[in-house]
Chain A
């Protein structure tokens, strides 16, 4: 009974994801673009998708000292490895104080420690294949008030899986205390399924287990309306449609002033989104495969997704 239920419920396994969807649909040479946050930003800007403002880029070790100058006019900023994955190496500085940099979790980091962190990023500690890396310093997102009750520090984001430009499945990722303010599920963040048609949240998961309330704030996870939902779907569909990525994970944050901003794109999106949505991906992907030829533009693709993947 057990061994066959994965197949029966159309749950996508990692081998099938790679062999049946990633390899045939995502040209190998494009991974570089998705893996590099700088390239991603360039692509997004070229097709008119808003991204968080870049304050500066550090490429060489001697430039690390210029950090205070780069962030002189900003009260908060985010430090990101250019080729990082899974949120590793990202550091959110909420406030620059006399004693040092106040992080999202409230602790204060000394200037030296932050510089050491920057050296480690440049050395390739967080980059995907361990190659040397660069650092992106960009604006901290002021997350939308909607999430105040269900996000613990850090920045929540919306992950949308896009298959050939058709939004396939979506999930809200919420940071927790365990995940150290990061929204990544493998670090203990909470994933909440989203009804693709309406943008309303469904049940949540943490470490592959279901939960109804946020583990720290205790606030129910179900039934929240994600603001700007149509815009989010449009951004995701656009990225899937205008780039050569056939199978893509799009991460979008909601800034309270600027609206949805693209955080990053992921050429190897994870599979936990299925757990959060209590549905396998295979069937949706096959539905898209069958209808793909009939769908010509982004509007049609979004409409198709909202019609076919609605939750009752």
Chain B
């Protein structure tokens, strides 16, 4: 009794501290209580990786490494709230190009060493108020067009420019412009017609023209090229699409803008109208590459977009450099993006653990291993539950068959476990390849599926099979899946994710509940069934 009281007091204390900080945060700052469903804020992180080793063919070995990188710019729709760089060892210079809104960052380093290096750029983007969150998704009919405009970084040759000047397919150009002019009345309808023509990739005139632009597949560039020939003020916009879901590596999208008086209007490829560009985050204008490098090779660029659900909180943290509350000062949101992503998952683990302890102590669910289900539910978070459950069951069944076979060879226990582990890795790899070729996107998620956990599950399951028979194994297997599913739905919940990450002090409450569950001496749910016959006997005896 004394211990139970002690535990109760401790739990109450922890709960009170957790709730106290939580309420303080809520009242003293603008931290939103509910997760922000309409994404109004994003993190954009660009990672430039390269090797600063001078090319062995270069005569001038002392050439300094220099990277010119376009930066995103404010647009009517999006605003860059904050940005920062990680460019150790490099000088950084940011300038705005003449006669344009393009911003360029130049990173230079005098003494190029033989080393692979990284430059990080991170920006916090917000949707401007006034722009209501219109539908994010492109309708399916327009999807193909938008996809067509997705261009990959790094396909470029300098020769195109020379070709452009020397071998202009004049007849074809004149023909195309004439055709478009006949069907149009003003500048915009002309631009629309040109764009329509540029879409006809089987037209030999377009094919001739496409050889003269930098990206032969780009409808936008072909159209812009033709419009320039017809002396229409035109420019190519480059940007990225900010989605509601996390994108690990996104591509740039191109669009066409035509000048109307002092405004630039963009052609919406979906409904063929000109309006202010409000779909993409503008990165730069023109047909230049997003980055150019000298004195460096193996240059690569990856752009990560992460919607920020904790909009208000980020704003609170970022705008008030010295935050009002020490709890905000030392919040998770000040950490680097990669660390934040790890923590977002990490804070869910205690929630899963609480669910497991309730399922074990109060329900009496049997599982393979105690905390295996949490790891499986974390894996489900990656794969999605519809793919996750069959995948899990499939891998475990195939693994069991393999183990059954190994059993015949009478291998010793540790090498056998290692063999199962190896087989599991191969199996998951094979499944990923097969799924990919069937068009089921698993790619990234499968690689994060905790393979060791799978192998251990297989080993436990097969041991149980031998020791306790098929029935117990199936029961424990179903228990594992059930616990994983329950855990999954608790962890995947927007509110749980938001509260656990933004209000980590609530985990003290979780800790308190856990301590209370630890002193629960009542019956488990399954014991009512286990002692069913005894209860019946005793109830009869009473009468």
**A residues in contact (CB < 8 Å) with B:** 2-3, 5-7, 9, 11, 13-16, 18-20, 24, 88, 112-113, 116, 119-120, 123-125, 186-187, 205, 208-210, 274-275, 278-280
A301 to B: closest C-beta gap in Å: 25
B414, B520, B522: which contacts A123 (Cβ < 8 A)? B414
A15, A112, A120, A210: which contacts B537 (Cβ < 8 A)? A210
Judge whether B538 and A13 touch: CB under 8 Å: no
Nearest chain-A residue to B523 (Cβ)?
A13
Interface size class of chain B, counting residues whose CB lies under 8 Å from the partner chain = 20 to 34
Judge whether B413 and A125 touch: CB under 8 Å: yes
Judge whether A2 and B413 touch: CB under 8 Å: no
Q: Can you list 20 pairs linking A and B with CB atoms under 8 Å apart?
A: A2-B528, A5-B539, A7-B523, A9-B538, A11-B523, A13-B523, A13-B527, A15-B520, A16-B521, A19-B520, A20-B521, A113-B410, A119-B410, A119-B413, A120-B412, A123-B414, A187-B468, A275-B531, A278-B538, A279-B538
B412, B463, B531: which contacts A6 (Cβ < 8 A)? B531
Judge whether B521 and A19 touch: CB under 8 Å: yes
Q: How far is the CA of A34 from the CA of B114 in the complex (A)?
A: 63
A134 to B: closest C-beta gap in Å: 15
* Residues in chain B near residue A278, CB distance under 8 A: 534, 537-538, 541
A7, A24, A125, A275: which contacts B534 (Cβ < 8 A)? A275
Judge whether A19 and B531 touch: CB under 8 Å: no
* Residues in chain B near residue A274, CB distance under 8 A: 531, 534
Q: How far is the CA of A6 from the CA of B530 in the complex (A)?
A: 11
With A5-B538, A120-B413, A208-B533 as contacts: A88 and B467 at CB distance below 8 Å: yes
Q: How far is the CA of A123 from the CA of B523 in the complex (A)?
A: 36
Q: How far is the CA of A120 from the CA of B364 in the complex (A)?
A: 30
Judge whether B528 and A3 touch: CB under 8 Å: yes
Q: Tell which of B4, B523, B528 has the most Cβ of chain A within 10 Å.
A: B523
Judge whether A11 and B521 touch: CB under 8 Å: no
Nearest chain-A residue to B409 (Cβ)?
A116
Nearest chain-B residue to A3 (Cβ)?
B528
Q: How far is the CA of A210 from the CA of B533 in the complex (A)?
A: 7
The answer, yes or no, to whether B532 is at the interface (CB within 8 Å) is yes
Q: Tell which of B4, B413, B519, B534 has the most Cβ of chain A within 10 Å.
A: B534
* Residues in chain B near residue A20, CB distance under 8 A: 521
A286 to B: closest C-beta gap in Å: 14
The answer, yes or no, to whether B361 is at the interface (CB within 8 Å) is yes
Judge whether A5 and B535 touch: CB under 8 Å: yes
The answer, yes or no, to whether B498 is at the interface (CB within 8 Å) is no
The answer, yes or no, to whether B524 is at the interface (CB within 8 Å) is yes
* Residues in chain B near residue A24, CB distance under 8 A: 3
* Residues in chain B near residue A125, CB distance under 8 A: 413, 463
Q: How far is the CA of A124 from the CA of B412 in the complex (A)?
A: 10
B301 to A: closest C-beta gap in Å: 48
Contacts A3-B528, A280-B538 given; 6 further ones with Cβ under 8 A?
Answer: A6-B527, A11-B531, A15-B361, A15-B521, A120-B413, A123-B412
* Residues in chain A near residue B524, CB distance under 8 A: 13-15
Q: How far is the CA of A9 from the CA of B536 in the complex (A)?
A: 11
